[in-house]
Structure 1
């Protein structure tokens, strides 16, 4: 039996909203603390305690900014733009993403609120978020109504982990939830003690007093500063692996302690529907001797990893340096107060691969091979004209314009572990719920926003929400299009209409089908064997009678497409193979 994890409301928000702080910020802070927490006390600051203190922060107020940037070769990007490559505009926009969070208020694990702004290129979208107990309210700028998410155990399990028929998740009371949280903290403390205490000092680390502003208040804090380039990071990892390898006894002690912790709480796991199996401890161990053997096996894996890294550096140094080079770096400033609370962070991670240029003769040979390969693919009916026509045919060239990635984050925290009153979600009966949201067509979600809003413009014009397309393949579709001897194209009625989000009802007595198109509000009624279609109460003559083919109703493609306010065309793939495309834009 599998243990169903019990989530606090705050943990559920991580699954639905990429966490209250965002995974980018968590990643950057984790990378920073990885380097600073393994050191001995520097300038009177116990950095190990700083990390542990950050894990027990329960309430705070603050602000945060996160940014993601693709470093793009502008010349190659311009070529993509000139070639009118689909998605260019979205790519350009997503290459500069920034998230600003303000007025962050976290009362406890289940109550939080914040305001924010998401910037995609030059576009900016404001939002507000409020969370209390098992509800999260999100109000997007330009939205006609708030989105209300149900973060209860039952709703989340149904959304992320569909249950087997008849199964149900066990109820988890507050006492059990608190107990699980405490177990989790103890496990983190055990594993963290082993992992953190073995970390080597990075080459560049300093701690000094610094005056800085946090939440508008001038403070005297201790500034922890670290900077590592890719080469230093590579060496740091090898040194760290060596330290872990040397501490096999410490790993065994951690595994034994975790095992005892789980056994001491086996009644709790049994109450959650997952009795603790004595015989299925980590890696199959059942006593102290076997746990030590398991630690030896894990240590052996670490040895293999270290050996492989050293061999790679010796045999192919250019491959290692392609990523772990001086252009790749992590820079961070962490400001700590006298209570060892983190009050401010400034972090930047740059990943900039550096590939050696190929000799001219090798480049020429490569281009000749590419040309031969493309010719061969064409002869084998595999040549994709649009892909290569856009200049994206050669290996790796589709991403050659991306030269690197920069991720940065800054944050400020005040009133840490103090009394904080977060705003609560409003009880709006008109709010857009999870179930309604999950069942929406793209155009329906688009209509949730005012037409003059930035969000509406982005969804409709940049990301194509509201654009619907149906592709029918004469050879591979389950219900393929049919071309009559006189050249008319017929399409399956139900499959085509439902693909556009329309509802189709068939009346066996009258042998008629009614199509209710929610997007346009149109009602179309057709009858088997008849050319007459009734559209919104008006009779229209179609070019071909409704025909049943092996139990499936077929209708003339152009007439149905016109009734649905769409367009259609045949597109050639290669040689004489074509597909039928029907599409429309609804908003």
Structure 2
């Protein structure tokens, strides 16, 4: 049973931020929640922690994993949002006895992440060929950021208009200390509690109300069509002009047709909702545990007199089904945040990338060896990767009777396809067609080993060595090398166990 499935299902409960459309105690919930979408700049701090509640009688190994996960938390000391394109954050990742500081910076080009002890920051490109694959050449998604924001706000307003309040919701006036303020601040505390079983009952009336709002749905559909038209009119691809013309000429007709389809499916969803929920529970009874009264989201959101969110606290506890392979019965995610300088003048920090980066889009830069070489050997992260996570460790058993590995024995020496050996060790192969020579680049040490088919002589970092037997090429073009000798030159060992199997190991 995949634990990710049970973690993913209940995260819909976080959508409680879009519930509570009715005024509570004179506080306009909808208006203030929508106002958060207008925040363009601010500074904030946040802490996120995770807690697993183990079952009774779990194994020691499972308990150790639970304890390790429960030790994980993230403290973000300061987030600086300068605009929707520029932001930065500084904080610390806490794991067991380790505190791992980090910095990150985001701009239109990508996100740079500097970890303490790293020689180069890691980088995620946001305009690389991979991230923009499928989009027209020269397409710039940032051009449409305002359209996206407006569309999001219209959709959110429609949801808020029809979402019923949960049974536990209140708004009270309080005076609280807020980060960045010298004096206490007058705030409105919006408290919401939502259980998993209540969420199920709230969906049907929401769909019912939404299906009746012809004007609201048509407004949203119209805005989607306008957005599509703006994109079509600005890209240079075949057929774009025709699309733009069609949307201009037949917009009203398209809105009506789309509304008819949406209304049909909403009505159908309402009519079949109860049966659908019953069928879901019958087919997947474990989901009924996830969406039970034991799954609870509690939030406290503090708004200032301008409607800005200044503090927030949330605690999501999710009940998990009784599954043998699942050693926990629930998990909780707790977040705390405070904000200041909302829509004020903010300058995001930068991460220095002038000396190069480790590109997370390139697999060659993410091998175990490349990863370790990017960290100082005395840094906590190096110790975690090398000793705790053992990312360089290899232990593979080869049965000489198993045709999959195609081990060969020649003159008492075990041979293995070089490609198979280097795959297990994560090494890189380079072919020199002129010299008819293969160079093996060791992933951990970056040392090079050069060899040729038919020659016992190999060159390791400029030094010539002699193998017990020469590598050879079989009838299919695969190069075979003496298993033990070549593995040892690449920092591994080869032994035989009591079953006669070969064991390849590297610490």
- In the alignment, what sits opposite 2:164? 200
The answer as to 2:384 corresponding to 1:458 is yes
Question: Which residue among 137, 141, 144 is the counterpart of 1:169?
Answer: 137
Determine the C-alpha separation between the residues in 1 that align with 2:354 and 2:320: 50
- In the alignment, what sits opposite 1:78? 60
Determine the C-alpha separation between the residues in 1 that align with 2:483 and 2:229: 68
SS of aligned partner of 2:371: helix
Question: Which residue among 74, 86, 89 is the counterpart of 1:111?
Answer: 86
Q: In angstroms, what is the RMSD of aligned CA positions?
A: 3.8
- In the alignment, what sits opposite 1:349? 316
Determine the C-alpha separation between the residues in 2 that align with 1:348 and 1:515: 52
Question: Which residue among 482, 485, 491 is the counterpart of 1:565?
Answer: 491
SS of aligned partner of 2:19: helix
- In the alignment, what sits opposite 1:249? 214
Determine the C-alpha separation between the residues in 2 that align with 1:438 and 1:514: 16
- In the alignment, what sits opposite 1:222? 188
SS of aligned partner of 1:449: coil
Q: Tell me which moved more, 549-558 or 417-426.
A: 417-426
Equivalent residues of 2:232, 2:244 under 8 A apart: no
Q: CA deviation at 1:502?
A: 3.9
Residues 130-149 of structure 1: per-residue CA shift (max 9 Å, x gap): 33443543221122233355
Q: CA deviation at 1:403?
A: 0.8
Determine the C-alpha separation between the residues in 2 that align with 1:487 and 1:531: 16
Residues 75-123 of structure 1: per-residue CA shift (max 9 Å, x gap): 3042657xxxxxx65x642344311111221111122222111123333
Determine the C-alpha separation between the residues in 2 that align with 1:181 and 1:547: 60
Alignment of 1:57-96 (within 5 A): 57-73=39-55, 75-78=57-60, 80=62, 89=65, 92-96=67-71
Question: Which residue among 27, 31, 34 is the counterpart of 1:52?
Answer: 34
Q: CA deviation at 1:271?
A: 4.9
The answer as to 2:482 corresponding to 1:556 is yes
Determine the C-alpha separation between the residues in 1 that align with 2:437 and 2:348: 57
| TM score, norm. by length of structure 2 | 0.83
Equivalenced residues, count = 491
Question: Which residue among 249, 269, 274 is the counterpart of 1:302?
Answer: 269
SS of aligned partner of 1:244: helix
Equivalent residues of 1:533, 1:539 under 8 A apart: yes
Q: CA deviation at 1:559?
A: 1.2
SS of aligned partner of 2:117: coil
- Residues 433, 75 of structure 1: CA spacing in aligned structure 2 closer, same or farther, 3 A cutoff? same
Q: Tell me which moved more, 421-430 or 261-270.
A: 261-270
- Residues 274, 124 of structure 1: CA spacing in aligned structure 2 closer, same or farther, 3 A cutoff? farther
Question: Which residue among 114, 118, 121 is the counterpart of 1:143?
Answer: 118
- In the alignment, what sits opposite 2:130? 159
- Residues 262, 146 of structure 1: CA spacing in aligned structure 2 closer, same or farther, 3 A cutoff? closer
SS of aligned partner of 1:214: coil
- In the alignment, what sits opposite 1:483? 408
Determine the C-alpha separation between the residues in 2 that align with 1:97 and 1:416: 29
- Unaligned ranges ≥5, structure 1: 1-23, 82-87, 356-395
- Residues 469, 280 of structure 1: CA spacing in aligned structure 2 closer, same or farther, 3 A cutoff? farther
- Unaligned ranges ≥5, structure 2: 1-7
The answer as to 2:117 corresponding to 1:190 is no
Q: CA deviation at 1:563?
A: 1.4
